[in-house]
Homo-oligomer: A and B are copies of this chain.
Amino acid sequence: MPRAGLTPERVVRVAADVADETGLERLTLATVAKRCGVSLPGLYKHVDGLDAVKRGIAMLAVEEMAARLAAAVAGVTGREALAELSAAYRGYAAAHPGRYAASVRAPAPGDAEHEAVSDRAIAVIASAFRGYRLEGGDLVHAIRMWRIACHGFASLERAAAFGLPESLDETFARIIDALDESFRS
């Protein structure tokens, strides 16, 4: 009975990869266990069940996204920061659909650990918007509008909801324009 050397982090990472490959809704602990080289119940020594794994994927994804977004806006401001931030968001969602889908679910109320990584990500976005000099409620609304636009785009892009030949990049660019215009007034 050789030990597989598993840890909760490793299990979540494998699960995240499976989710990216097969879609979050088809993620199964059986597949994760197989890929970890362990029996299905063996996973429960490291992880509390499927829901806990999904929460883990969500936190992993938010952390990864926050890092990429931060890198994307390093050294730029204003409209350029908005464009880079959005492109990084779109890119991550497209490259990691399973992780991304998990990341959308908000932290459960009282889940301090999850809320912490979520807050860090929001801080990255807020600092990327500094060039617009938005204050208080204006900043909150701006962050919401940006996230709504990026999530809507990523979500519908993945759902293959755009059949027509018009360029998706062009649609994306127009959204950035509209947001930039709105944040400026």
Residues of A in contact with B (beta carbons under 8 Å apart) = 25, 104-106, 137, 140-141, 144-145, 147-153, 155-156, 159-164, 166, 170-171, 174-175, 177-179, 181-182
Q: What are 28 sample pairs from A and B whose C-beta atoms fall under 8 A apart?
A: A25-B25, A104-B155, A104-B159, A106-B159, A106-B160, A106-B163, A140-B164, A140-B166, A141-B166, A141-B174, A144-B171, A145-B171, A147-B156, A147-B161, A148-B152, A148-B153, A148-B171, A148-B175, A149-B149, A149-B152, A150-B152, A152-B153, A155-B155, A174-B182, A178-B178, A178-B179, A178-B181, A178-B182
A142 to chain B, nearest CB (A): 8
Chain B residue, CB-CB nearest to A151: B152
Looking at chain A's contact residues, the main secondary structure is: helix
A92 to chain B, nearest CB (A): 16
Complex: A38 Cα to B40 Cα, angstroms: 34
A146 to chain B, nearest CB (A): 10
Complex: A15 Cα to B67 Cα, angstroms: 41
